Amino acid sequence: MKLADNKATLSFSNGTPSVDLPVYHGNVGPDVVDIRKLYAQTGMFTYDPGFLSTASCQSAITYIDGDKGELLYRGYPIEQLATNCDFMETCHLLLYGNLPDAAGKADFTKRVTQHTMVNEQMQFFLRGFRRDAHPMAIMTGLVGALSAFYHDSTDINNPEHREISAIRLIAKMPTLVAMAYKYSMGQPYMYPKNNLSYAGNFMHMMFATPCEEYVVNPVIERALDRIFVLHADHEQNASTSTVRLCGSSGTNPFAAIAAGVACLWGPAHGGANEACLNMLEDIQRMGGISKVGEFMNQVKDKNSSVKLMGFGHRVYKNYDPRAKLMQETCKEVLAALGLENDPLFKLAMALEKIALEDDYFVQRKLYPNVDFYSGIVQRAIGIPVSLFTAIFALARTVGWIAQLNEMIGDPEYKIGRPRQLFTGAVKRDVVPIGQR
Ligand code: SDX
């Protein structure tokens, strides 16, 4: 970051001496006012619950321009990556900062492929869950449990440990998600097959059985790979910030990623794809497109807690570029499967059209986000609704790791420890119980 010529001067109307705060430029995007010395100089904190105006770190990984609806991974527009690259190339880009050449891609893919199996003991963790346990409950447990198997690589300050942990987590997430699915189905787990692509291997572990050969559908394989690319990273979102804060204590990478899985589960975040599909099915059950107006009235009624799931975003005040690409992927997959008339897809497009013309949404700059169409395409592929967020976690693992490793690799990093504005009881003495 570069020190700007101008500075910020904070002055107080009560005569408290003003303070000068340095301003820094990034390479693109908003400048920052450096408040690191504010408390020492003024005895005051800043106040920003929800971090609406706070940069928690400097990063070179992902850049979002919310007004333009622009998303760049290491400078490359998501539209170009989603059409010209695959998930392995994207993982290499996010982790190391560059797109690999053919040899580099083959080497990276081989390293990932060689770590796709999990310890046989992992299957016994699943037995502790009910068969109808939510897959994200299982994933939160399994990812954290991985740290029990890799005592050789849990020192986050050791670059070699960070590297092998990154490879292991990227490689094993599909295996764990597929195991969670098979467990819910009461079917045997399928071992990874090293001759398949990353997405193809995931499909095989999900949908194959020991009873017959499984043939990967290349259209679905490509669609899944693109879904992984679109979900791979997204700046300092809630789950990435959770991973950074968790990792800042020096805990091992598996524990930090498990914290990210837990945070992503929420319906305001990664859980929105599941919530959006359930919302579409509810509207469909109520009567479909004819009931959209009634539903929208509930959404606009401040007293109802109803939200149009898959819409709105803290950063995007324009169309989420991932939503556009996901809608295209929807069309491709539905056409390939002969489901062009999928009622939920038609309902989603009708909802989008109505919302984008409605003043409530226009005024608040609410547009479809990545979660609005992702559920429809995953459902068409045969992925159960409850597994959608686990797929999101599978794809976002590379982004979480890249961001964690960037933080740990920054010599300036410290343990994250925010303060507060205290509004509770001031000091008072305990009264003995007999006198209370
Ligand atoms: C993801 O941060 C990331 O980058 C996340 C993510 C990633 O890749 O990591 O992009 C993934 O989490 C996408 C978001 C998925 N969540 C949803 O689709 C759930 C529905 N969306 C909302 O809950 C909401 O839009 C958030 C949580 C996404 C953003 O919330 P903000 O930024 O805190 O905005 P807000 O709640 O203050 O909303 C501003 C106004 C409010 O109305 P007023 O109080 O001004 O009258 O817009 C309204 C909100 O009520 N609003 C919505 C709405 N989203 C916001 N009203 C109806 N439906 C919605 N979806």
CATH of the domain at 348: 1.10.230.10
Start-to-end CA span in the chain (Å): 58
Q: Whose CA is nearest to atom 24 of ligand 1?
A: 312
CA distance 414 to 411: 9
| Beta carbons of 22 and 7 less than 8 angstroms apart | yes
For ligand 1, mutation pick of 244, 280, 314 (most atoms within 8 Å of CB) = 314
CATH of the domain at 38: 2.20.28.60
% pLDDT > 90, the chain: 94
pLDDT surpassing 90 at residue 244: yes
**Which is more confident, 413 or 193?**
193
pLDDT of amino acid 152: 80
CA distance 186 to 201: 20
Q: How sure is the predictor about 411, in pLDDT bands with cuts at 50, 70 and 90?
A: confident
pLDDT of amino acid 177: 98
Q: Quick one: 20 and 155 in the same domain?
A: no
pLDDT of amino acid 383: 96
Report yes or no on 62 lying in a domain.
no
Report yes or no on 339 lying in a domain.
yes
Q: How sure is the predictor about 157, in pLDDT bands with cuts at 50, 70 and 90?
A: confident
What proportions of the chain, in percent to the nearest 5, are helix, strand and coil?
A: 50, 5, 40
pLDDT of amino acid 105: 98
Q: Quick one: 317 and 342 in the same domain?
A: yes
225, 233, 320, 371: which is the annotated catalytic residue? 371
CA distance 248 to 404: 8
Q: Is 429 in the active site?
A: no
How many separate domains does the chain show? 3
Residue 312 structure tokens: 């709105």
Read off the pLDDT of residues 392-406 as tens digits, 9 standing for 90 and up.
999 999 999 999 999
CA distance 434 to 37: 48
Ligand 1 pocket, Cβ-based, cut-off 6 angstroms: 234, 237, 268-270, 272, 299, 307-315, 364, 366, 369-371
CA distance 301 to 306: 8
Q: Whose CA is nearest to atom 56 of ligand 1?
A: 307
Q: Quick one: 231 and 102 in the same domain?
A: yes
Q: Coil, helix or strand for 52?
A: coil
DSSP assignment letter at 61: S
pLDDT surpassing 90 at residue 412: no
pLDDT of amino acid 101: 98
Residue 211 structure tokens: 């009873």
Q: How many residues are given for the chain?
A: 436
Angle 153-247-128 from CA coordinates, rounded to 5° = 70
Range of the domain at 137: 86-265+387-409
pLDDT surpassing 90 at residue 305: no
For ligand 1, mutation pick of 61, 311, 319, 389 (most atoms within 8 Å of CB) = 311
Q: Quick one: 219 and 321 in the same domain?
A: no
CA distance 221 to 90: 16
| Beta carbons of 368 and 311 less than 8 angstroms apart | yes
pTM: 0.95
CA distance 195 to 213: 14
Q: Quick one: 261 and 283 in the same domain?
A: no
For ligand 1, mutation pick of 313, 352, 373 (most atoms within 8 Å of CB) = 313
pLDDT of amino acid 134: 96
Q: How sure is the predictor about 102, in pLDDT bands with cuts at 50, 70 and 90?
A: very high
Q: Are strands 32-33 and 62-65 parallel, antiparallel or unpaired?
A: unpaired
pLDDT surpassing 90 at residue 78: yes
Q: Is 371 in the active site?
A: yes
Q: Quick one: 277 and 317 in the same domain?
A: yes
Q: Quick one: 189 and 246 in the same domain?
A: yes
Q: Quick one: 343 and 243 in the same domain?
A: no
